[in-house]
Amino acid sequence: MAADDPRPLIGEPLSLDLLNTRWRLTAVTEDLLTDVAGLAVWLRSNGLDERCPADEATLGAVRQARDALADAVRAPADPTPATLSRVNAVLARGQLHRSLTPEGPAERAGTDSPAWLPAWLATDDYLRLLRVDPTRIRACANEGCLLHFFDTSQNRRRRWCSMAVCGNRAKAARHYARGRR
């Protein structure tokens, strides 16, 4: 992970990590992908900086994928035709090449342009999460928070992107409300 990544939640699966390039800790929405420098941070955080160029073309492709994924996570069980079209437009830019090597089966993602590789990988990762369990893809329960996470808790009851930030704010608000009664 990149030490210079300013986001409050990192380390989620690639698709959700891409969604989490927009966040809100105050009234202001932050966006890591406003420029190529922010893209470079995101690529480094996800180990993609060696495989993918941090340039305007990649930035445009990654933003397009992020917008498609943002639509998709709003209603994963019932995506609109427009959402399906946006997600599939990104997926159409790449493919998975499978081969048999001396070490065993191998897979390599390929895209029609190097600029589309991170966008395609993130969108393909979203399909993987849907296959694992779509109910584990969650938005933070804090109404003001924009972050998403993949709930890996044993009881599947995680509600907050972070207990240290949003969870603590919710507990403090409940405590304050009890005190005011």
pTM for this model (two decimals):
0.89
Task: Summarize the confidence of residues 92-97 as an average pLDDT.
Answer: 96
Give the Cβ contact number of residue 113 at 10 Å.
14
pLDDT digits (tens, 9 = 90+) for 160-174: 888 777 866 656 555
H helix or E strand, kind and range, residue 88: helix 81-91
φ, ψ of residue 23 to 5 degrees: the values are: -150, 165
Task: For residue range 55-93, list pLDDT tens digits in order.
Answer: 999 999 999 999 999 999 998 889 999 999 999 999 999
Q: Which residue has the higher pLDDT, 84 or 178?
A: 84
> What is the reported pLDDT for 75?
87
| Average pLDDT estimate for 145-152 | 95
Does pLDDT of 118 surpass 60?
Answer: yes
